[in-house]
Structure formats: C-alpha cells, structure tokens
Structure 1
C-alpha cells in the first residue's frame, strides 16, 4: 500500500484529529523516517496523492526538498502561498517552511521527492560565483517556489531520478556518493534554467468569495508573533464571523488556526535560538508565547528538546 508524500518524510509535524472527552482535539505529533545520520538524504519515488485521506498531514522540517510532479493534479500550500499542482511542475522548498500537498479527487498527483540536509552540498570555494542552493535562498522573500518544466526537461530529470533510484537502492560500492553526485547535477541544472519561477496563484481557492483568505495569510505572516493574535482578532480584520473565518481557514489551508500559528512561532523560535544570543525568555516573548513555561512545554513536545538543549546541541 502506497503512503503519501507527507507520511514518508524524514521528520515532520503532523496535526492529527483526536477524539477526547467527546470533543475533537488537534494533537501535534512528531514523526521520523529512518535514515543514516552520515547520509541525511531520503528519496521517495512515484508517490501518489490520496484525495480520500481522512487524517490531514501538514509538515515542516529543516531539510531542503525537491518535488517533481509526474502526472495528475492537486494543490500545494507553501508558506502563505497557494499553487496548482500540475504535470511537469518542480517545487523547491527550503528548510523550515510550512507546506501541505492535497490531491485532486479525479486525477491525483504522482510525484517524486528528494529530501536532503544542506550539509551534503558542496560548499568548497573554487572561484566560481555559483551556489548549488542558490535557487532556494531567494524563495521565501519572493514567494516563488514553483518551476514549470518543459516536457523534454522533465524527461531529462526523470532519467536522473531513475538513476538516483537505482543507486539509492543499490549495495554497490560508492552508491551514496553516486546519489550525492546526481543531486548536485540536478541542482546545477536547476540553477542554469532560464524558465521563470511562477508566482503563487489563486486558481484553486475554494470559492471567489473566499479570496480574502490570501490577505489574511499575509496579515498573519506579519503579526503571528503578537501574543494577542486570535480567531476573534482575525475575524474582525476580515469582517466575517469567527465561525465563518474558522471554517474557511480550515477549508482553504487545511490547517486549524491554532495549529498554523503554533508552527509559524516554532519556526521563528528555532531561527532565533540558532542565529541570535537573545535569552530564551526574550525569544519566548518575541515569538508570541504568553508565558515562558508554555514556550518550554510546547517546544519540548514538538522538537523533543528544551529550547536551551536545542541551542546547545546545534552550536557545538
């Protein structure tokens, strides 16, 4: 039985519906896909989306991700942007960006996914003004995560993906080195492409009257660190009732509002812990948590470490 693109990721945050004391609760669960720490790469070939999936999965992780769409259709929420998934699409997703793929009911997508830690990528200075990860680094600001490939170009990548699959499953000497070489070659070809990255589309939004949700996502992106941001505040901003806002937000993004805000805040907290000398208390306040104890509790539940342990473990 095939598993979906999100179920097989090396590690991600899945929001699972759970019945508890007669109510539907949302529980965040951290799951991992097995991999060798010396070879932090996972290749998932020819995954087929399941439009009837009862449990919705949404995730983010600190690996980089390439998604090649071979056939079918669907929708992709990446950060705060919506895309229509179509044959010959290529998605480039940097680390710690929230994303969720949803399959079309009549023609579900089939895609191949490469997830890798940036430590695998060559960074030696050779006098060449080029970066293998360059295409990823300009994406968050521009919101351009989707690359449209020609049919001929997709065939070239599918040949490389077939070679990667052979090496990935092989026990031959140097098979891991071969996989890394193929990944570098793909990233080089992507960097050389003249085809433009597409901006996010509104095309698959559930209904024209709900297009205001894009403005809401932009507003959240600018205010999610405000501890007072709530369903009531956002519904007032959108000039709709809280009940209508909640239904539309879930229908459009696949997320509940609390789950979405928590993931945004966790990503920001991770960034500040790794890139600043601010105290944990300051970071807790800066990311919108109402108390330091709540921040500690949620961070450890989701990442398996306290904020201090996470910082020390990544600064060694």
Structure 2
C-alpha cells in the first residue's frame, strides 16, 4: 500500500491547521503518510513510537518532532499509555516573514532536520512551558476568531519558531543524526542506504542479501517496523527525490525519471500520480503558479 497522502482543506489564504491537545490511540492514527505542509508535533503526555523518514524515535512528554514537507512518517501510540499531542501544519510561505537583513529564516529548524536527518528535540522544562503557552494561545485565537485572529496566529507561530530555532541551533549538530536504537541494526542500515540512494537497485532479493538476512525475514521485519512493504517505501523515496528535481532543475521529465531509478517513463508517470494526484508536468506547472 502506498503511503497515504494527507489532504488539507480550508481557506488557501490561511494554510495553517492546529490539532490541539489530542489524545491518540492506535485505531485513530494514520498509516504511513506524507504531505507538502511542514509539521510540528509536541507531546504533552503518554508514550509511543514515531517512524520518520528512515528512523524510529521513542515518543515521550516534552518531545518535539520537526517534520519538513514530503517526509514519510507514522506514529504508533502505546496501547497502555496513549500520548496526548498538539500538531501544527502549515505551508512554508505562511511561516516566512519579510527579510530583516540578518539572514534569519523561520524555517531554519526544518532545514536543519532535513539536512541532518534528525527530527526529534527533547525540550528543556522552560522551553516546554513556553511552547505549551503559545499553543494554548493559538488554540484560543482559532476558537474565538476575534478581529485579526489569523494575524495573531501567524505572529504566535513566529514566536514559537524563533524559540525553536534558537534552541535547536545550539544543540543540533552532525552528531545529532546518530543511531536512535529502535529496530535491528541491519534494518537501520538498509533504511539509511535507501534514503541516500533511492535510485539504486532496491529489490527485496538484493537488499536482504546486503543485510545478510533471508528475504522473507527482511520483508516481515520491514513491514512490522515501517508499516509499508519495501516497494512502496522505495517508490515514495524516489518520488520525493523526483519532486525535488522537478522543483530545482530544468531537466526533462524523462531524465529525472531515469535519475530517480525508474526504468520507463509510463511507470514513472503512474507512480508519481499515485503519490501526488497529478502528473510530473502538472506538478512542475503548479510550482511556477505559486
């Protein structure tokens, strides 16, 4: 099954959504999914596991997860101690502000998390209190809808991002991308290899051989940990790469398809549309229309 493509509704002029203080259980959580919006998930209480990109994270009170757009992720609450979280979803453009000349970017933490492949921050007590206060204020603005509430939410998001960026810049280094210890080491290594080179041969036979386990065992553990089969996971990684190529280069669709590991253009079109809802060419046009 392909990762679920989470849709967003509402006013396109206000691309922001807050799911505040939401108690989760395994039956209500989405399967593996991705979306274009940036996402922050703050854990108020409870525990569970978060699969993001290619790593597994324990989920505990005070944890903040910084998830850039087009990142595969899935959350699994503990059945005996389900977590309570607040999740923010917003478009990158909504968070950006006019340049002040100091090279500050509100999306700095998202850029760092994507670069270092590290998506979890354990917030200190003081910062936890600040985050919880700002989340509460956002929730009140969205519920009461007084004059200027949208601008108030944008300003509150700016304050939250500033606190996050100052904290993460002091602790997020290359060493932050260390192994997180969930799942067998051979599986973590396989996920890392796919992430670094999704265009390479990713057949079950080849990857299980490199992992020194049997194909049935690899397939069983992979599905148990990620919630996906190997083919769907690799295709998702390839489409994420293709979207980056379409946005960042002027290369033709055929060149990009081959570069991303697709042996035929029709297959690339079919897989791309199943993940994004549009053809590669339509996706390219939508970028220029923004």
TM-score (normalizing by structure 1):
0.84
Matches within 5 A, 1:52-63: 52=27, 57-63=31-37
Report the counterpart of residue 23 of structure 1 in structure 2.
none
Give the structure with the higher percent strand. 1
Do the aligned residues in 2 keep the contact of 1:79 with 1:98 (CA within 8 Å)?
Answer: yes
Task: Note the 1:13-92 alignment, pairs <5 A.
Answer: 26=1, 29-52=4-27, 57-92=31-66
1:163 aligns with 2:137: yes
Deviation at 1:79? 1.2
Within a 5 Å distance, the mapping from 1:157-306 to structure 2 comes to 157-193=131-167, 196-197=171-172, 199=177, 201-205=179-183, 210-226=184-200, 228-306=201-279
Against the structure 1 CA distance between its residues 149 and 30, is the aligned structure 2 distance closer, same or farther, given a 3 Å change threshold? closer
Q: Secondary structure at the match of 2:33?
A: coil
Distance 1:285 1:129 in 2: 36
Residue 235 (structure 1) shift: 0.7
Match of 2:283 in 1: 310
Q: Which moved more, 1:121-130 or 1:137-146?
A: 121-130
On the 8 A contact 1:63/1:118 being kept in 2, the answer is yes
What is the count of residue pairs matched by the alignment? 285
CA drift at 1:201: 4.8
Distance 1:62 1:288 in 2: 22
Q: Any runs of at least 4 consecutive aligned residues in structure 1 with deviations exceeding 4 A, and if so which?
A: 197-201
Q: Which has the higher contact order (CA 8 A, sep 6+)?
A: 2
Gaps of 5+ in 2: none
Deviations 1:57-81 (Å, cap 9, x if unpaired)? 1111121111110001111111112
Is 1:101 the equivalent of 2:75?
A: yes
Cα distance in 2 for partners of 1:161, 1:111 equals 11
User: In structure 2, how many angstroms separate the alpha carbons of the residues matched to 1:156 and 1:222?
Assistant: 36
TM-score (norm 2): 0.92
1:289, 1:151 → 2: CA distance? 48
Please give the secondary structure, in 1, of the residue aligned with 2:44: strand
Contact kept? 2:57, 2:180, Cα under 8 Å: yes
Cα distance, 1:271 vs structure 2: 0.8
Does 185-194 or 259-268 show the bigger shift? 185-194
Is the contact between residue 81 and residue 200 of structure 1 (CA under 8 Å) also seen in structure 2? no
For the Cα contact (< 8 Å) 1:146–1:199, is it kept in 2?
no
For residues 40 and 158 of structure 2, the distance between their equivalents in structure 1, rounded to whole angstroms, comes to: 12
Correspondence for 2:95 among 121, 126, 144: 121
Give the distance between the partners of 1:68 and 1:278, measured in 2 at CA.
39
The structure in which a higher percent of residues are helix is: 2
